[in-house]
Structures are given as C-alpha cells and as structure tokens.
Structure 1
C-alpha cells in the first residue's frame, strides 16, 4: 500500500517524504507547507534549491531536490468560476476530483480527466498528464492561465496572450512554484461507461475512435486485447451486441488483474456525471496496490499498429514484469513540452511490477524498439532515453529555463540530464 505522507514538524500538515508508489524517497533537507502566498514567496526567494510537491504520482526523480521541498496544499483552496469567460481559476494543489465535484455542482465540466482523479492540478498540468479521446487534448491543453512564484519570489501571472505561454504550461516544475491555474470549462454532461472483452488486434484503431473516451487494455499474453473501456456521451447509442467481435462484460471490471472492481467508476452503461465516469478510478478509493512502477510513451496516432508490431518480439519479456498495458489516444496541441505537441498521439502505458531491477532492462528494450516511431515519454513516469530530439521547441524551452531560473534554483539532477545548462 502507498506510504502515508509524513508531517513536517515546523509546518503542521502532510508533506510527503516519498512518492505515491514508494519507489522514490525525496532527498530534501527541509520540508515546508506554507499557509499564505506571502510565506511561500519569502520561502522561495530565500532558498538555494527548491521544488514543489503535489500528490506525488510521478515515478521518477524529476521533482526531487536536496534543498527545500514545498507543498502548496496549505494555501487557500480557492475555486473561482468565470461564467462569462468560460473558465475556472483554482488553487494549483487541488485534486482534479475535488475541483470536478465543485464544478459539476455549478453546472460546468472539464472536457477531459485523467484515469486518476487523485492527482493535483499543477502536477498533472506540469507533466502533460492526460485522459483519452480522439478529439480530447491532454489536461494541460485546457490551461488558459497560470500564476507562479518565480525564483526571486516574484509573482508571475501569464495567459495565452503571452508568446512564452505555450512553453510555460508543461513546465516540469522548472520555472517556479505554480499557485493557481485557470482552465477552460464546458457545460456539464453525462457519460455511460461500457467494458467490452476480447478485442481483435486488427480492430484496435476502430476501438480507440469509437467513443468520447476509450482505453484498450492488454496483458501481452493473448492474441486478443483483454478489455476495452468505452466512455460514451449519454445521448449516444450503446455499442451493438457484437461490437467489433467483442462481448460485453456482465459484471464490473478492474483493469489490473486481481484488484477489486469496486475501486473503479461505474460501468455496465449506467449514466452518470462526467467526473464519475471519465476517470477509471473513484476518488475515495485506492486505484491500485501502489506496489508498481509505470512507464508511458506517446507515438503518432497513425503508428498504433506499428507500435504493437515493434514490441511483439519482446512480448514475453514485457509480460513477465507487467501488471497491465493501456492504449489511449490524445489530440494534438501546441504546448512545447507536451508529448502531443503538434501530433495526434496514441499512448502506450505500462503498469509494471514494483521491481526496478527487473523492470529497467525491459523499459530500455521497449524504448529501443519504439525508437523509429519517435516516442515521447510521459514526463512523470519511468524512461531512460533523452527525448530531446523529438521536441521541435526543445531549445526554446531551454531558453525559458535560463530566463526564469538563471541560477538553477528549481533544477534537479534528472532535469539536468534532459536539459543541460551549457
């Protein structure tokens, strides 16, 4: 089970000492949970090294620091809805599930949500975390504005009118401590969720395009793909009885074998609010055991079949360390460090067993086999290869790093690997 967060004796309240899965123990010398914006600004201005921590759902050390670790969760949990502009401005530390509940009560929604509603808004945006859907961008694509505390303690407020904005949204926590995020909203809507079993691999493309949001799961052990999770707008017809040569699940399912279906959002076609169907997992429940590692790579949407074919020779090695693999689509966007930058994508997400020694060689092989497809890894998960060459605006983001953080206050060892200072 995930380890509970540890309280900082100088700042009451939870400040984690490790990530959610427990595979990364933060090396911070000090932990802080400021209760006001002014306190946060003073802390950042006086720190030599500092990083913000949210819900801790990243699996690598991009967010690690040997200096000061700051949780913005002590700041006021504000939510300000602007009906005229069609936006909501929320405290960056809020979980998406909590924000969604408040939005729905006001008659509004976000166009997309990730599999887990447990993740913080700032952390999900900073790493380009996503849900699924042929026409749905990742969560960062909905960002209309940012407020952040920069290296000298100043408060910077930017929106889409700033020419640097597309480089500042997916920022890996490297430009400052984000305090508030403004997101586009839409009128609330209902979703029906269906699970179909035994999808022929030849039907993968059709399945991924078949609903408002769709996820396909495989264990890499069988000829057919195990499960398809279809999340349809409630006003759309249900899938036919013989849809794509699959059969319907007649009881609720969990994507990870052996985990309780009760942890998952409602299935079997029962209509419900967007925020209770678009995620795979329920906010009040643990999504999985926590004893896991995760990797994910995004390749061009048209390369879905080619990606599976490239990995087929490694299927036995993948399956030996795999809990489940999920395939999803994400629409293109213009954000500089988004894995979906200027290309519609299909994401191959791997939930591995919690054994780094066994998993790392397989991660390396997966990257090598996908390399001809220019894969871009999820920034919050485990990967080995430097993805710099796959990002057209890579050098522009390095320039932003120099502009916002010339002394390297928000730098980490892992960040330096992918964005060298020289």
Structure 2
C-alpha cells in the first residue's frame, strides 16, 4: 500500500534554491517553481518553452542550469509504495535516499547500494548515474525497474525494462522529461560492519577492492601509500586480519579528509549496524561539509587502475596543492547507455578539490590529459572539461532519443548542447 515516510523524514526547503549546494553555480532561471501535484507539474511543463528539473543541488556543473524555468519535484507528495511480490519499491522522485532507506529498513528491505551522501534525491542521483562501490555493485541507476516522467508536451509516461528504449532513458541527464516517480529493485535488509585500515601499499589496491562488500580508498597524493581504506563488510563476515595487506587498523573513527573530525561520518571500528547507516560515508542527520569544495570524477576500466594512478604520479604535487581528498572505488558494469560504467567494470577516481575554480581548473585539465589514454568517462554531475562522447558506445542512440522526446529542445541547456549537439 502507498505510504509516507515519518514526518521527521519529510523536511524539505521552503523554496527552490538559487544556487547549487557547493555554491559554485548560481542558477540563471527566469523563474523557479515547486509544484505540489503532478497535474500542476504537467501544466507547467506543457505551457513552458524551456524547463529543467533540479534535485538537491549536489551537481557541480551547469548541465542542469537553464535560462528558462527551473522546477523542483521536492514539493510533490513524498509517497512510497512497496511491492513485496515483485521485490520493488516505487518512490516520489524528490525523496532523499536516506529517508527512503530508513523507511525501507523498517519494512525489512534494502537497496543493494548507496552513495557516499544519503542526502541526495532519488531521481537526481539516478539521472547522473551516481554510485556507491563494490566489485559486484552497479551504480544506483542499475536498480531502476521503471520510471514515470512528464514529457515535453505535458503527458505522463511510464517506461520499464520491457521498453527497448529503457536502457537509454534511465541515466537521462534530465534531458528527456521531468521524472516524477522511480521504481527500484529491493532486497531483504542486511547488516554491515565498517572498518578503516591505514597505509595501504598502492600495489595492493586491486586486492583491497575485492576484500569487502563495498570498499573506498583515500589518498591526499602526498605519500606512496594510500592514507585510508574503508571496508564495508556484511555483518556476518569476519573482520580483516591484523596485518591485512600490510596495513594497520584505525583505533579511532576517521574522516576521509585527514585531520577533520569524524562526528558526521558513519560508525566504524567494526560496530554492526543496518546497511543504510554504514554504506554511506556520512550520516543523514549531519551536514557532511560546508559545501566549500569542487568535485571531479572519472571512470576508467578497472584493469587500468594501476596504470592510471602511475600516469597521474608526475602531477602529484600539483594535485595535492588544490586537493582535499581523492577517493578510489570500483563499480560493476551495466547496460545503461549513458552510464560511465556501460559495459565495463570500472574504477572511479574521485577528487574533492578546494573551492577555488581558478586554482583547480588547470590541474583538472592536466588530470584529464593524463587519463585520456584510458578512455575516461566523467561523472555527469561533476566538473570536467573534455567532451566524453567518443567513450560512449550508444552515444548516437541517445541523441536519437533526444530528438524523439524533445524535438523542440524544451529540456535543453547550453551544457547539454555542448555534449549532444542538435545537428
């Protein structure tokens, strides 16, 4: 039966923000809207020449910016409907993953993976192929079984895996319509223990990636060893050995950025807890940081991890000078056309930079140049400079979807036109 999360979990901003979470993008929309019903949203889309949906604002580029109308779906009823027979849950697009996860766990269910932040919206994370980690875990979009969206003419369309266009519509960058509901696969709830290990030798990274359900390695590019490895293991699995891969065990809780307090991080030191309180790096009830940062991330074939890090080594001093932390994760291959993990198991190299675009941009350009031999695919919601079109096997097929669903360019943006020209 349809249900609502507890009232405490439905807190939302009173209005649509005028800038993104990091503050590096001020939205240029002529007007901002927060409809309270799907019919209100449909009418808005139908009568508007240019419109874009915005989620929780955790993207760092202008892919979702528009000079037309900006619309938030956070005001739509935050409904959740669990189908135990099908093993799915259908949720309002603007619901945050953390709120959904809390509700699901109480019902005895889980999704297989979560991103570092539980604060992001379901539809926004899916549209950009945001991910967690794990050698057999796909990005969050791979759990999508169906989408409901408002198309350019204001119609309400539902598509599922039986539709031959579906694999091109899930990771859609907001370019095919405004998503109103998402149906996700669910599994029985499970427990997780989180351990932090210190000082991993770089040549042991590949073995570390296979050592737990979800693994993240962190480096500041100031040492030949990786600073930390966060192992998120199923609660019924044994802890890592005392001398695991030449590392030592952290004796106190850690923050990914060395020296920062760990109060807003999820519980560590092997303390068992439900999946949704361990798979993210940060707690739902805390703001993970001030937002004074920039982020970039590239996905490469997993087999290229060692060579890619070696290619970046000559730039280590320049990277470290503008870096807060670099995170390394694996993501399983999938069949979604615009997924950075399309048809290849991947290693994701993520950079959290200082909040200074002038200082970061030349380093970002150098990183892209050094990674170019490995066919990098950037995270669509983060900062990148090069057009990644050549690395996507179904690029032309997605352009055809754009022409089919949005021939007049209602959902187009300047940034989207750079990567998917209309001609």
Smaller-chain TM-score range?
over 0.9
Residue 131 (structure 1) aligned with residue 160 (structure 2) = no
Q: Find the aligned partners of 2:287 and 2:353 in 1 and give their Cα distance.
A: 17
Residue 366 (structure 1) aligned with residue 367 (structure 2) = yes
Residue 93 (structure 1) aligned with residue 81 (structure 2) = no
Deviation at 1:289, TM superposition (A): 2.4
Q: Where do 1:18-417 residues align within 5 Å? A: 18-417=19-418
- The C-alpha deviation readout for 1:164-223, integer Å capped at 9, x for no partner, is 000000000000000000000000000000000000111010111110000000000011
Question: Match of 1:316, SS?
Answer: helix
Question: Match of 2:337, SS?
Answer: coil
Question: Match of 1:15, SS?
Answer: coil
- The C-alpha deviation readout for 1:69-88, integer Å capped at 9, x for no partner, is 00101111010000000000
Q: Find the aligned partners of 2:258 and 2:157 in 1 and give their Cα distance.
A: 45
Q: Find the aligned partners of 2:91 and 2:72 in 1 and give their Cα distance.
A: 16
Q: Find the aligned partners of 2:257 and 2:44 in 1 and give their Cα distance.
A: 41
Q: Find the aligned partners of 1:364 and 1:408 in 2 and give their Cα distance.
A: 30
Question: Match of 2:35, SS?
Answer: coil
Question: Match of 2:338, SS?
Answer: coil
Deviation at 1:238, TM superposition (A): 0.1
Question: Match of 2:404, SS?
Answer: helix
Q: Find the aligned partners of 2:202 and 2:236 in 1 and give their Cα distance.
A: 28
Q: Find the aligned partners of 1:151 and 1:140 in 2 and give their Cα distance.
A: 22
Deviation at 1:286, TM superposition (A): 1.2
Q: Find the aligned partners of 1:392 and 1:209 in 2 and give their Cα distance.
A: 27
Question: Match of 1:324, SS?
Answer: strand
Q: Find the aligned partners of 1:134 and 1:285 in 2 and give their Cα distance.
A: 28
Q: Find the aligned partners of 2:259 and 2:171 in 1 and give their Cα distance.
A: 35
Question: Match of 2:15, SS?
Answer: strand
Deviation at 1:94, TM superposition (A): 0.3
Deviation at 1:390, TM superposition (A): 0.3
- The C-alpha deviation readout for 1:283-305, integer Å capped at 9, x for no partner, is 01111221100000000011110
Where in structure 2 are there 5+ consecutive unaligned residues? 1-12
Aligned counterpart, 1:13: 14
Q: Find the aligned partners of 1:146 and 1:70 in 2 and give their Cα distance.
A: 18
Q: Find the aligned partners of 1:365 and 1:306 in 2 and give their Cα distance.
A: 16
Q: Find the aligned partners of 2:417 and 2:259 in 1 and give their Cα distance.
A: 39
CA contact (8 A) 1:169 1:335 kept: yes
Deviation at 1:386, TM superposition (A): 0.3
Question: Match of 1:55, SS?
Answer: coil
Deviation at 1:259, TM superposition (A): 2.6
Aligned counterpart, 1:8: none
Question: Match of 1:416, SS?
Answer: helix
Q: Find the aligned partners of 1:50 and 1:259 in 2 and give their Cα distance.
A: 40
Give aligned pairs, total: 411
Q: Find the aligned partners of 1:13 and 1:293 in 2 and give their Cα distance.
A: 26
Question: Match of 1:341, SS?
Answer: coil
Deviation at 1:256, TM superposition (A): 1.5
- The C-alpha deviation readout for 1:122-178, integer Å capped at 9, x for no partner, is 000000000000000000000000000000000010000000000000000000000
Structure 1 segments, 4+ long, off by >4 Å, are none
Question: Match of 2:359, SS?
Answer: helix
Deviation at 1:260, TM superposition (A): 2.0
**TM-score by structure 2 length?**
0.97
Deviation at 1:19, TM superposition (A): 0.3
Where in structure 1 are there 5+ consecutive unaligned residues? 1-11
Q: Find the aligned partners of 1:128 and 1:341 in 2 and give their Cα distance.
A: 10
Q: Find the aligned partners of 2:299 and 2:75 in 1 and give their Cα distance.
A: 34
CA contact (8 A) 1:259 1:288 kept: no
Q: Find the aligned partners of 2:75 and 2:217 in 1 and give their Cα distance.
A: 38
Question: Match of 2:263, SS?
Answer: helix
Aligned-residue Cα RMSD (Å) equals 0.7
Question: Match of 1:74, SS?
Answer: coil
Deviation at 1:257, TM superposition (A): 2.7
